[in-house]
Structure 1
């Protein structure tokens, strides 16, 4: 645990799927598209990830070559995801709980966020809900990616005071535009493009597991946030 509170940062927003929990979305989206004859590309991934569900469903339908409404796409997608979860259950990633404990002991007010409703958080992380500060979980589907709203409405802070930890490059891009410090934990899905995309956006701090987010990294981000140097030129 950290030996003291950070000097500049005041809060942290932690993505649920891909940071706290294993990535159970990329493989299903990829299979949905390629199994119907579509081609999965970096640009396609960018257009789908961290978008509102209805908007992502339209892109998925186009890529898969199906003339379905967004509602039907989502119905079939979540059915296929349920089948995937029977073989690959949702699990808390190694080091994720300890990471949140470190954030809290460093003096950061910490919430979890994601695109699914709160029942997903309660089901997967309910046993650890006490690790997070009120409101615990923020659903961002209505205002994707939702980082600005979490910073200004949930926390009531400036962007440079809030650390964002996510697995999607679009969130990194949003954080950069706001001037918010960012740690990327992109999925290791073999057909994914998020690590490369985060590098292109200019994210300076990428990890392969929440277990890699330790006191030294937090103090580095804290110092960079204080001097406005969280992002590469």
Structure 2
């Protein structure tokens, strides 16, 4: 049996883009460019890991359509529903192994994201035993949710929680709070997240969940204890 980690107590793993494939970036990109808008890094900043109505307004602005935030969200979800018919939502390679690895090292695990809990139940329900209560936290009302998940949901300190996410805005908040963080940015060809994550100073970026191995997790554990996750 592997020795347990010493500092970290919880791993909070984003659902869409980390545990599940990214079915959001392609739809958002098409929403904007198909209506004559320009897709830029600033556009992603205005949409990703924002509350739905904020993201909806960002999409409407970028697409240059005179819609309310709710109207843009309604159209977006309709277009996403069409997209996933041909590009189904599915577990990413290594997702279940990652959860098992985290738990084998003594960490509690929880998932989080902007959709309601039915999304978790539909796609991860069969693996619910790999998560600790409440298993999933909907962060739409307090995105990106690092402070709330750490201090309010689990009653932990910032240096006791590891977040794994695909969005640079989450990395920026993690850095501001000195929270251990692993970036898993989207591989979508038009995504600015890998660039933005590097610009945010993220030191641990992976392109595969298999790369979040025991060695990396032990490195994060030691860095969390020394408060050097965001410093050389």
Please report the TM-score for the alignment, with normalisation by the length of structure 2: 0.98
Specify the alignment match of 1:78 in structure 2: 77
Specify the alignment match of 1:231 in structure 2: 230
Matched, 1:29 2:22: no
Q: Offset at 1:123?
A: 0.6
Q: Offset at 1:232?
A: 3.3
Q: Offset at 1:71?
A: 1.5
Specify the alignment match of 1:46 in structure 2: 45
SS in 2 for 1:12: strand
In structure 2, how many angstroms separate the alpha carbons of the residues matched to 1:191 and 1:100? Answer: 29
- Spell out structure 1 runs of 4+ moving beyond 2 A: none
Structure 1: runs of 5+ lacking an equivalent: none
Is the CA contact 1:203–1:232 (under 8 Å) kept in the aligned structure 2? no
Per-residue CA deviations over 1:54-81 (Å, capped at 9, x if unaligned) read: 0110111011011111121111100100
In structure 1, how many angstroms separate the alpha carbons of the residues matched to 2:112 and 2:189? Answer: 25
Specify the alignment match of 1:178 in structure 2: 177
SS in 1 for 2:110: strand
In structure 1, how many angstroms separate the alpha carbons of the residues matched to 2:16 and 2:208? Answer: 13
Q: Offset at 1:216?
A: 0.3
In structure 2, how many angstroms separate the alpha carbons of the residues matched to 1:51 and 1:5? Answer: 34
In structure 2, how many angstroms separate the alpha carbons of the residues matched to 1:12 and 1:222? Answer: 11
SS in 2 for 1:138: strand
More displaced 10-residue stretch of structure 1: 184-193 or 205-214: 205-214
- The within-5 A match list for 1:1-233 is 3-232=2-231
SS in 1 for 2:141: coil
Per-residue CA deviations over 1:103-150 (Å, capped at 9, x if unaligned) read: 111111110000000000001111111100000000000001011000
In structure 2, how many angstroms separate the alpha carbons of the residues matched to 1:47 and 1:216? Answer: 35
Structure 2: runs of 5+ lacking an equivalent: none
Q: Cα RMSD (Å) of the superposition?
A: 0.9
SS in 1 for 2:162: strand
